[in-house]
Structure formats: structure tokens, C-alpha cells
Amino acid sequence: MTQSNPKIEVKELTILFGATPALNGVSFDVRHQEILAVIGPANSGKSSLLLALNRMLSRIHEASVTGSILLDGRDIGNIEDVEDLRRRVGMVYAMPIALPMTIRENVLFGIRLKRTIRKNEGDTIVESTLRSSFLWDEVKDRLDTSALNLSGGQQQRLCLARTLAVGPEVILYDEPCSGLDPISTAKVEEAMKELKTAHTQILVTNNTKQAARVGDRTAFLLMGELVEIDDTDKIFTFPSDPRTEQYVTGKFG
């Protein structure tokens, strides 16, 4: 079912790396303030899709993209300020990358590249984003210590806070919990659910159980093709395509 005014519209998106296709004519919408989980085995085009959504593919020389991606009805290919696009469409990667500076400085790093921040404003941003990423209670008494001393799970939530600080409308996650323990994974997932009140989110995950836990809808990619997209409950109980049923029940992957 297509929403009348989706946040993102992907239309006939094809991605090639040289002559090798990563995605082939994929089309779907992403609704406002939903979590869309994207599942599929390796080499299905999941990460390439994310990189296309904020034009990170433009940094890869051999990559070529056809089709269109609309953000609030506007083709992102026509947005001249690419850095502003990447502020609006933020990314959290699989490997947490804490910068070699304090926790406070990590959170404010991206926004300080754009403008000067008063101390009171900075304090508010740091607390609000760390609360949103479910990290505040763990670090509030050591904001001026090195972020490199945090655990892997804490660093990943810090990366989420740093992304939130620049005010994204859309958050992309590329396997954000792949290296985390179950407790840290649960906290990241809890943060995702809370962020739905103000953000559209797209989660690429190889963990089908995670997709089932947090996805409002789920898209299944296979060898660069969108097999189907539907409400998560339906994808995991009554999928339309037998390939989806085989994948979510672990018969391949």
C-alpha cells in the first residue's frame, strides 16, 4: 500500500559498479515516521541502496545510478547542497566510529562544522541527543572524558547521538548492531522505536529477528531485485513470494 505523500520515493533505481549490477529497477516508498527494515542475503544491494539515498555513491568512481529518489517530492539528484542533503539524511554505520575527543565534542562535532554553538545550546543538544540514544544515564558524569573509553555498544549509541545532533529528518542504519552484544542491541532498538515520533528510519539488517522486532514494514531484496515489501507481520507470517518465506524461515541466506 502506497502512502499518498511518502517521505521518500524510490523509482526504478538501478545501481551499477562498473558492469556489475547491485540493484535493478527497484521502486518503493518510505512513509513518514516509520521504520522500514530492509533484509536479504549478502550481495542483495542493501548497503548500495542506503548509499544511494544520501548520494554517498557519488564518492565511488565506478558507481553509476539511474532512476530517481525523491525526498519530500524533490529529486535528490537536483539538490545542489549535497552536504545539506546528508544532514537531512543521516547515516549510522555498522562499525562505530568514535572520534578521538571527548564525548561532548563527539556529539557536537558535526554541527560545529556548520556554525558556532553557545555553551548553553551545546549543553542542551548534548543532553537531548544522548537521552534519545539511551546513553545519557551512562555517561552524564563523564562528558569531558575520551569517547574512546566507551564500550562498543556505547560508542554506537554515541554515533547515533552525533547523527541526531545535526537534525536529520531521515536516519539510515547499515547493520548498526552487527558487532554488539544483546544488551547493547536492545538499547539501540529501543532508541529506534522512540525516534519514530520525529524521524523516518531505514534499517538494513541481516538479522531477520531484529527486522521483525523493530520494522513497521519490511522490504526483501534478493540479487538486486525487490522481491516484496509489506507490513512486517505479513512478511514474517504470510509473505506473498515463496522466496521470502524461504529466506525468513532460514532455508537460505
Domain residue ranges of the chain, discontinuous segments joined by +: 8-248
Class of domain 8-248: alpha beta
- What is the model's pTM? 0.94
The dihedral sign for the CA sequence 203, 209, 214, 219: positive
- For residue 121, pLDDT over 50 is answered with yes
- For residue 253, pLDDT over 80 is answered with no
**How far is residue 148's CA from residue 6's CA, in Å, rounded to a whole number?**
39
The DSSP secondary structure of 93-146, one letter per residue, reads -SS----SSBHHHHHHHHHHTTS---HHHHHHHHHHHHHHTT-HHHHTT-TTSB
pLDDT digits 0-9 by tens, 208-251: 999 999 999 999 999 999 999 999 999 999 999 999 999 999 98
**How far is residue 183's CA from residue 53's CA, in Å, rounded to a whole number?**
30
pLDDT digits 0-9 by tens, 140-170: 999 999 999 999 999 999 999 999 999 999 9
Residues in the chain: 253
> How many other CB atoms sit within 10 Å of the CB of residue 119?
7
- For residue 93, pLDDT over 90 is answered with yes
Question: How does the average pLDDT of the chain come out, rounded?
Answer: 95
